Amino acid sequence: MKAMLEVMDQRHLIELQVLKDRIKSIRKSILDMTASTPAGIHVGASLSSIEVIATLYFMKMRHSPYRPGWEDRDRFILSKGHAAPALYAVLAEAGYFPKEELKTLKCLNSRLQGHPDLRTPGVDAPSGSLGQGISIGIGMALAAKRRGSRSRVYVLIGDGECDEGQIWESLMTAAHLRLNNLVLIVDRNGWQLDDRTEEIKRKAPLKGKIESFGWETYLVDGHDPEKILEALDLCELADGPAAIIARTTKGKGVQFMEGTNKGHKLRFSNEEYQEALTELEAS
């Protein structure tokens, strides 16, 4: 038995190492998009969400790039739709479309627009207008239950996004419906468009607030895939909807952005791109 557990532990470690390598590759894709897209992208918000989205797609969700329309797949809703580059980079890494296509981000007629759209293979819900993702997730989770499907629904929101009243209405509804196939993840990077989240409108104590709406809630380091995975596993045991507050850094991995709001919307200069690449390679 002990030997078997050790083998399983080793397998888990190997999987986590593969995931970390993929995360590095995804981070590189985002840096490339930041350099190549003339319009500028929400790079800070994208870099803060990578570990969460990648852990979901590569370690947790049941999905298939060969059958994007498979009815019983798990669903992911990027409610903070401005972080679309992170989702596109993960989907490309997972094989939903060629990585080469990432170069067409925000181009006319491209399948990769500035915010998620159903024309992109692998995108489960359109988003961009903040506040709506949990409501969409409730519909999907309820539909899955009604057709007896094992499908689970994951929604990622921003902490600034919590200013939207619809977030709190949907939290109340999901708890009322006891949707134990719905998981919310909050990207708690501490910044929103204009300033720090706590300066614009205080969110703390966010965990207590979400719990008080009837959600089992966990707090994790949002850049540690192992911890994210542990929390996602716990969410599966909840009687109702469950939430994870992922403590993250906006602009994670690029020093001149980290802990600031410089990367809220940005296009890299050549020098910035080179600096970011050097940092990534050294990481």
Ligand X SMILES: Cc1ncc(C[n+]2csc(CCOP(=O)(O)OP(=O)(O)O)c2C)c(N)n1
- The residue ranges that bind ligand X (CB under 6 A) are 42, 45, 48, 80, 82, 128-131, 158-161, 187, 189, 191-193, 197, 250, 264
- A 10 A CB-CB count for 70 gives 12
SS (HEC) of 75-107: EEEECCHHHHHHHHHHHHHHCCCCHHHHHHCCC
Please report how close the Cβ of residue 132 comes to ligand X at its closest, in angstroms: 8
Nearer to ligand X among residue 171 and residue 238 (C-beta): 171
Q: Which residue is nearest to ligand X (CB)?
A: 158
Please report how close the Cβ of residue 167 comes to ligand X at its closest, in angstroms: 10
Please report how close the Cβ of residue 152 comes to ligand X at its closest, in angstroms: 23
207 burial (CB, 10 Å; 0-12 / 13-18 / 19+) is middle
Please report how close the Cβ of residue 268 comes to ligand X at its closest, in angstroms: 17
Nearer to ligand X among residue 33 and residue 144 (C-beta): 33
121 burial (CB, 10 Å; 0-12 / 13-18 / 19+) is middle
Beta bridge partners of 217: 243
Measure the CA–CA gap between 255 and 253, rounded to whole angstroms. 6
Nearer to ligand X among residue 225 and residue 251 (C-beta): 251
Answer for the pair 210, 276: CB distance below 8 angstroms, yes or no.
no
209 to 72, 202, 212, 264: CA distances (angstroms): 32, 11, 5, 26
Please report how close the Cβ of residue 1 comes to ligand X at its closest, in angstroms: 44
Nearer to ligand X among residue 31 and residue 144 (C-beta): 31
Contacts (Cβ under 8 Å, ≥6 apart) of 71: 149, 151
Please report how close the Cβ of residue 169 comes to ligand X at its closest, in angstroms: 14
Answer for the pair 158, 186: CB distance below 8 angstroms, yes or no.
yes
Backbone angles phi, psi at 79, to 5 degrees: -65, -35
Nearer to ligand X among residue 151 and residue 189 (C-beta): 189
Measure the CA–CA gap between 50 and 257, rounded to whole angstroms. 15
Nearer to ligand X among residue 117 and residue 230 (C-beta): 117
Please report how close the Cβ of residue 160 comes to ligand X at its closest, in angstroms: 3
Nearer to ligand X among residue 52 and residue 232 (C-beta): 52
57 burial (CB, 10 Å; 0-12 / 13-18 / 19+) is buried
